[in-house]
Structure 1
């Protein structure tokens, strides 16, 4: 692990994870907060969805948002 990487113990969807990255604590808390909000929104809309499927939909939504932002930057 390089010097500028940090370990973050976070809770996403009620499960604990260790994430290693260069982000600040505030940035990581913001990221985890958004992920948890998106997971909760998906589970509210689809109450019977599995945790795995909800996580995949969250990831797909995140990538779609990222690609839309990249496209806007090009215009």
Structure 2
């Protein structure tokens, strides 16, 4: 759930737990996190966000560009 920086002083939470995602609050990244400990809930890892692909018209632009260059 957490990632250490090379400087070993900052923790970065890559994915918040399910409760923090649902409440849209910052997750501390510990297991259990501070919010789940405070409200005495089960701290379960959250679902990773959806990966985005290229914008919808990107392929059309690439094909037009390649035709113009040739």
- TM (normalized to structure 1)? 0.23
Pick the structure with more strand per residue.
Answer: 1
Considering Cα pairs closer than 8 Å and 6+ residues apart, tell me whether 1 or 2 has the greater RCO. Answer: 2
Structure whose alpha-carbon radius of gyration is higher: 2
Kindly indicate which of the two structures has a greater share of residues assigned to helix. Answer: 1
Instruction: Please give the TM-score of this superposition, normalised by the length of structure 2.
Output: 0.23
